[in-house]
Amino acid sequence: MSSNILIFSFFASLIINIIAIRAIIPFLISRKFVDLPNERSSHSNPTPKGAGIIIVTSFVIMWHLAFGLKFWYLGISLCITCLALVSLINDRRSLTPILRLFFQMIVVSFFLYIWFYAPYGNETQSYATFNLLLPIGMQLILIFFLILWFINLFNFMDGIDGISGTQCIIIGFGSLISSLFSGLESDILFFLSGFLVGSGMAFLFWNWNPAKVFLGDVGSIPLGLINIILIMVLCVNNLWFSAFFLCNYYVIDSTTTLFKRFFKKKPFWEAHKEHCYQIAIQNGKSHSNVCIAIGFHGVMMIIFASISSYFQSNTIITLCLILSILSTIVLIYYFLGKRRKPINE
């Protein structure tokens, strides 16, 4: 059944989103869902935003077509829908950070409650997501903040053309390859992987520089949750190292930037241009070149994840972890480097 779900989720998400996103662009413009450039923007032209509502809607419909209306699956779609609705209001009216965080905490709390009913077996298997030698209660607290952080960092990192679609493809395809190399067959993992790759490719078609449309918070926040669900499935199945590889750059860039702004006493919740990929744009690199660099780095992460998943040797996993961190440092060094002027300038 897993292969059929994979084929369905990939092709359906690719076709539906590539058509529906194009169809909604005139509507977004007519309703004035437009991102106007300002001093914190990395784009220079007014661009419609809100294409994420198509991706979220397609996910909910396809999710229930694949798995039915059982409690756990309804709970997942409810969490994603609630995040999308609050984010849609924020796209329109700019809710305060505290209010947004409050609603996100409610959704994440409910998500952790229904995670008990996830189709992985008993309570320990469901809650012990990271297989840590910690009491379940402490793991729940840790997971709560990690989910909250990830859905927001996915939104923070959605700052240039093509980056979110690229990252969805990296996480989706990397998770699929890791599961195949490890011998894991999971309908949920296959569905989420196929959906992220298909919808990521479809969105890239319209979002590659110069972008015709943006996700908006209505897309980036729920997509963050979809990605973290897939990451948690990897962790539950003892593929935590693959999860680390596939999220490597996003987590390191966003986390180091957060601490940098915190120590400089800057409000970390406000939009800014201090992420490494944004500095790369300010240094003269194009949106396309930055995304290609992230994509190339992602290919290396997928290779590390595949090797580690196949051998499952502590030595190989440790070596790949070290190489992955070094490669991320090289990527960040490339982003932070100034563009050299041609000799004739």
Percent of the chain at pLDDT exceeding 90: 76
pLDDT per residue as tens digits for the range 38-49:
776 677 789 999
User: Residue 214: helix, strand or coil by DSSP?
Assistant: strand
Q: What is the pLDDT of residue 185?
A: 87
94 lies in some domain: yes
Mean pLDDT over each residue of the chain, to the nearest integer: 90
The C-alpha atoms of residue 312 and residue 304 are separated, in whole angstroms, by: 11
pLDDT band at residue 207 using 50, 70 and 90 as cut-offs = very high
pLDDT at residue 283 tops 70: yes
Q: Which domain holds residue 79?
A: 2-237
Is residue 216 domain-resident? yes
Average pLDDT over residues 211-224: 96
Query: How many Cβ atoms are within 10 Å of 336's Cβ, its own excluded?
Result: 11
Residue 117 lies in a domain: yes
Stated pTM of the model: 0.93
Does the pLDDT value for residue 132 go beyond 90? no
Task: Examine residue 192 and state whether it is found in any structural domain, yes or no.
Answer: yes
Q: Is residue 24 part of a domain?
A: yes
Q: CA nearest 235: which of 115, 327, 60?
A: 115
Report yes or no on 331 lying in a domain.
no
For residue 73, tell me if it sits in a domain: yes
Q: What confidence tier does 342 reach under pLDDT thresholds 50, 70, 90?
A: very low
The β-bridge relationship of strands 34-35 and 47-48 is: antiparallel
Tokens 């994440």 sit on residue: 108
Contact 100, 83 (CB under 8 A): no
Please write the tens of the pLDDT for every residue from 154-195. Answer: 999 999 999 999 999 999 999 999 999 999 989 999 999 999
- pLDDT at position 218: 97
| Overall domain count for the chain | 1
Q: Is the pLDDT of residue 344 over 80?
A: no
Q: How far apart are CA 328 and CA 249, in angstroms?
A: 6
* Residue 312: predicted pLDDT: 93
- pLDDT computed for residue 120 by the predictor: 55
305, part of any domain: no
The pLDDT assigned to 130 comes to: 54
